[in-house]
Amino acid sequence: MDDTISGVGYDRIELLQVAEAVARDKGIEQAEVLDAMEQAIQKAARSRYGHENDVRAEIDRKTGEIKLARYRQVADPVENEATQITLAEAHKRNPEAQVGDFLTESLPPIDFGRIAAQTAKQVIVQKVREAERQRQYNEYKDRVGEIVNGIVKRVEFGNVTVDLGRAEAVLRRDEVIPRESFRPGDRVRAYIYDVRQEQRGPQIFLSRTHPQFMAKLFAQEVPEIYDSIIEIKAVARDPGSRAKIAVLSHDSGIDPVGACVGMRGSRVQAVVGELQGEKIDIIQWSADPATFVVNGLAPAEVAKVVLDEDTHKIEVVVPDDQLSLAIGRRGQNVRLASQLTGWEIVILTEEEESERRQEEFRTRSKMFIEALDVDDVLAHLLVAEGFSSVEDVAFVPMDDLVSIEGFDPDLANELRQRALNWLAAKEEEHGKRRRELGVSDEVAAIPGLTGAMLVALGEAGIKTLDDLADLSSDELIDKNDGVLRSFGLSAEDANAVIMAARAHWFADDASATGTGQAAGAEPTAGP
């Protein structure tokens, strides 16, 4: 490119041909190459005629002729003589010139020296590279989520640079399957998970560990997935080791698991081969969380499940001999099942569950014996009927109590009264403790806070409305360190309590605003 613009005697047609060849080679528009050339020539010309001057270059798109011109703007007054001209001087050249107009003055072509030509070449190369990068970004930004094939160009510190043909991409070390190694010249297939503009230009990021890489591989191997007859609902992976994929068929006549496995496992084996032998469990997706979790724990057998929708936790009871299979090596099976289903899974053996049930039975029975002053037979009956707290006895419909075998209305009334008396005594005890801790009456008046909750707040140093108002809902109910985590408050309940504590802030603001508006009023005489 030096020779093309190295002197006055450049070949105009050759210049256009070079621009066309560069554009074709880099996959960008010829106009962008010519723009870069103009900027390069302009930079060299300003070095010759002075950087303070506004010198511009133009290449004729048809003939290739280079034109140089100095631009000066008509101004009154003139602040910079290099780039501005007085109105009087401008009228000598163009009687119709007005302030703000530009006057141009043609300059003779310059003979590019070696330094100027080298500088021009650098500018052109830089501008062409920028245009090429922009073209790459525009081409690949809409291809996020696709699988691409490329050739390894270089490997540096475990990070692989992949040549995609019209662009380069990065396969970072943490996106490579463990124990997988690449050398320059190797072919690689990967998933585009991000394309973004960075300081050094657009970057295309690839992954072979992303869950969607597996999903896309199955879409390539299983026509029913490509045709949307079978839908992949969820994927969980431990890259290079094991994975679980949940599938659903929209056609009752097609078995989604069988279609993904293929004849003699041909389809799934093609995916396993690409993923370096990663074992894949293909399971049937279900809208019922319990069924889905049971399927997700395959190949382990499940005896019983107990869902807690508030905490999004599910307890799974398995036969004693199935425990190790359900948990998997280093907890892999249950971890993948949890990722796949989105539920926190707690696994218990039948023996552990039986022991826990018995312990809960003993604990509740003891609580009823002490609170209601009843014998163990009545306490056992209450627990067996599903009563878990004194509040249940105090506030359930009377019919529920009377319906217990061996209970009559008199006994039910007596139990209810004892429960109410016990709760009242507890509330009084909590009120006394709350006052000892210094929790204000304003906090105690907030709806939804029980005496036990107020004591818990006081023991945590939360004593005033401002103390409570400064908290977030997580600080109240977080399952690990929330102040009120043991009381079963929902996020909605916690937010309501906090907003009630903040109500005085808004009242104070309104009062201050009202005072400010009345500040200029005449004072009223006292009685």
The predicted-structure confidence for 449-479, as pLDDT tens digits, reads as follows 888 899 889 888 999 998 988 988 888 888 7
419 φ/ψ angles, rounded to the nearest 5 degrees: -65, -45
153 and 97 both lie in a single domain: no
Mean pLDDT over 351-380 rounds to: 87
Please name the residue that has the structure tokens 């008509």: 74
Question: Does position 116 have pLDDT exceeding 80, yes or no?
Answer: no
Residue 512 binned pLDDT confidence (cut-offs 50, 70, 90):
low
pLDDT recorded at residue 522: 39
Amino acid of residue 310: D
Domain carrying residue 250: 223-285
Three-state secondary-structure class, residue 349? strand
Phi and psi of 348, rounded to 5°?
-125, 150
Same domain for 196 and 228? no
C-alpha closest to that of 73 among 49, 92, 50, 89: 89
Q: Rounded mean pLDDT of the chain?
A: 83
Does residue 364 belong to any structural domain of this protein? no
Per-residue pLDDT tens over the stretch 119-158: 556 666 676 677 777 777 888 888 889 999 999 999 998 8
The reported pLDDT for the residue numbered 112 is 55
HSE at residue 448, side-chain half, CA atoms within 13 A, is 16
Question: Where is pLDDT greater, at 330 or 131?
Answer: 330
> What are the φ/ψ torsions at residue 58 (nearest 5 degrees)?
-140, 130
CB atoms < 10 A from the CB of 240, how many?
A: 18
Judge whether 188 and 207 are in contact, CB under 8 Å. Answer: no
Radius of gyration of the chain (CA): 39
Per-residue pLDDT band for 270 (boundaries 50, 70, 90) equals very high
The reply to whether 159 and 232 lie within a common domain is no
Task: State CA 328 to chain mean position distance.
Answer: 29
Residue 277 predicted with pLDDT over 60:
yes
Residue 468 DSSP one-character state: H
Helix 211-221 / helix 266-274 crossing angle, nearest 10 deg: 140
Same domain, residue pair 77 and 120: yes
Say if residue 202 is preceded by a cis peptide, omega within 30 of 0.
no
- Confidence at 13, pLDDT banded by 50, 70, 90: low
Summarised one tens digit per residue, pLDDT across range 57-66 is 888 887 777 7
Q: What is the 3-state secondary structure (H, E, C) of 398-436?
A: HHHHHCCCCCCHHHHHHHHHHHHHHHHHHHHHHHHHHHH
Q: Are residues 112 and 159 in the same domain?
A: no
Residue 7 resides in a domain: yes
CATH of the domain at 179: 2.40.50.140
Query: Residue type for 305, please?
Result: V
More confident of the two residues 6 and 156:
156
pLDDT above 50 (res 506): yes
Mean pLDDT on 328-351: 91
CA distance linking residue 212 with residue 225, whole number of Å = 13
* pLDDT of amino acid 431: 86
- Tokens representing 314 are 């599910």
- Domain CATH number, residue 494: 1.10.150
The model's confidence at residue 527, banded by pLDDT at 50, 70 and 90, is very low
Q: 151 or 381: whose pLDDT is higher?
A: 151
Whose tokens are 């970057």? That residue is 203
Regarding whether 131 and 9 lie in a shared domain, the answer is yes
Prediction pTM value: 0.60
Query: Which domain-ending residue is among 110, 136, 162?
Result: 136
Which of residues 420 and 37 earns the better pLDDT score?
Answer: 420
Q: Which of 62-66, 154-158, 241-245, 495-499 has the highest mean pLDDT?
A: 241-245
pLDDT value, residue 121: 62
Residue 176 phi, psi dihedral angles, 5° rounding: -100, 140
Single out the residue in 77, 112, 136 at which a domain terminates: 136
* pLDDT above 90 coverage of the chain, percent: 29
Token pair belonging to 279: 């074992």
**Cα torsion angle, 371, 374, 376, 377, sign:** negative
Q: Is residue 431 part of a domain?
A: no
Q: 12 and 132: one domain?
A: yes
Residue reference for tokens 């922009």: 134
Give the per-residue pLDDT at 7.
39
pLDDT over 80 (residue 307): yes
Separation CA 408–CA 484 (nearest Å): 38
Q: Does residue 108 have a cis bond before it (omega within 30 degrees)? A: no
Burial of 279 (0-12, 13-18, 19+ CB in 10 A): middle
Contact 314, 338 (CB under 8 A): no
pLDDT value, residue 523: 39
Q: Is 328 a member of any domain? A: no
Q: Would you call 441 helix, strand, or coil by DSSP? A: helix
Q: How long is the chain? A: 527
> C-alpha angle with apex 478: 472 to 479, nearest 5 degrees?
170
Q: How confident is the model at residue 208 (pLDDT cuts 50, 70, 90)?
A: very high
Residues 199, 112 share a domain: no
Asked if the structure places residue 185 within a domain, the reply is: yes
Q: Is the residue at 72 inside a domain? A: yes
For residue 21, the SS3 value is helix
- The pLDDT value recorded for residue 111 is 62
Q: Flag whether pLDDT at 1 surpasses 80.
A: no
Q: Are residues 109 and 189 in the same domain?
A: no
Residue 237 lies in a domain: yes
Query: Would you say residue 411 lies in a domain?
Result: no
Region 100-111: mean pLDDT is 77
Number of domains forming the structure of the chain: 4
Query: Last residue of a domain, which of 93, 109, 136?
Result: 136
> CA 482, CA 268: separation in Å to the nearest integer?
46
Specify whether 57 is located in the same domain as 168. no
As a whole number of angstroms, the distance between CA 194 and CA 508 comes to 49
Query: Torsion angle, CA of 236/238/241/245, rounded to 10 degrees?
Result: 0
Distance of alpha carbon 260 from alpha carbon 276, whole angstroms: 18
21 shares its domain with 128: yes
118 shares its domain with 149: no
